[in-house]
Amino acid sequence: MSHAPAALQPTTYGLLAAFESPEALAAATKKAREEGYVAMDAFTPFAVEGLADEIGTRDDRVPWIVFISGMTGAALGFLLQVYVHAYDYPMNVGGRPDISWPSFIPVTFECGILAAALSALVGMLALNGLPRPHHPLFGTKSFSRVTDDRFFLCIESTDPKFDSARTREFLASIGAETIEEVEA
């Protein structure tokens, strides 16, 4: 960033406002929405119920990813056993049928669980855009408290209503503790 020519001022990513409690943050988010802001995100030290709906980042794809992966894993696990014991290397054990499916159930089950669990972590990270080593927010002073005891609302500069001075004024009016400009 320091290599940029002086003429190219660092653009603003947005304004970051800190609040003391999840309730204050929820109230501020509501007001920002009513004011007409749309490009914003909230950041909290722990999961706060209902905020995702308020911000509009509710996303119910994770359970579907997990369900589909689990079913696929189980199906592949079962088909593998059928392939091995009925087609590739049939072996007559005590006169049982080649596809003796009851004894294939444990491995089928474990394969399903394994695929579902892996997809839960990977799917969650992917949808969250992680891993992401750097983000403009990490450049601010106050943001390190997001994992400690502060609740943040960031109104992004891409918002059509965004105006550095006016948005700052608005954030102050809804009770922000500190307001900081985030460099892009």
Partner 1 sequence: MQTIDEKIGQHEPEVMLPERMIDGEYDNRSITTKIDSIILNNKFTKGWLLALALGAGALGVMVLTLVLLVFVGIGLWGVNVPVGWGFDIINFVWWIGIGHAGTLISAILLLMRQRWRTSINRLAETMTLFAVMCAGLFPLFHTGRPWVAYWLFPYPNALGVWPQFRSPLVWDVFAVSTYLTVSALFWYMGLIPDIAGLRDKVRSRVMQMTTGMLAMGWRGSVGHWHRYESAYLLLAGLSTPLVVSVHSIVSLDFAVSILPGWHATIFPPYFVAGAVYAGFAMVLNFVIPIRKWYNLEDFITIKHIDWMAKIMLTTGLIVFYGYIMEAFYAWYSGNIYEWYMMYNRAFGPYMYLYWGLIFCNGLVPQFLWSRKIRLNMAWLWVISLIVGVGMWLERFVIVPVSLHRDFMPSSWGMYNPTIFDISMFVGTFGLFITGMVLYFRFVPIIPVAEMKHQLHAEHDEAHAGAGGHH
Contacts with partner 1, residue ranges (CB under 8 A): 22, 41-48, 51-52, 55, 57-60, 62-63, 66, 70, 80-81, 84-85, 88-89, 91, 93, 96, 100, 103-104, 106-107, 109-111, 113-114, 116-118, 120-121, 123-125, 127-128, 130-135, 137-138, 144-149
Nearer to partner 1 by C-beta: 34 or 53? 53
Query: At its nearest, how many Å lie between partner 1 and the CB of residue 142?
Result: 11
> Pairing mode, if any, of strands 40-43 and 151-156?
antiparallel
Nearer to partner 1 by C-beta: 135 or 166? 135
Locate all alpha helices (DSSP H) within 21-104, ordered by sequence. 22-35, 51-55, 61-82
CA distance 16 to 169: 12
Closest of 176, 66, 42 to residue 126, by C-alpha: 66
Closest of 47, 55, 48, 46 to residue 28, by C-alpha: 55
Query: At its nearest, how many Å lie between partner 1 and the CB of residue 46?
Result: 4
DSSP-based three-state secondary structure for 12? strand
Nearer to partner 1 by C-beta: 64 or 169? 64
CA distance 25 to 168: 16
Query: At its nearest, how many Å lie between partner 1 and the CB of residue 171?
Result: 17
Query: At its nearest, how many Å lie between partner 1 and the CB of residue 30?
Result: 13
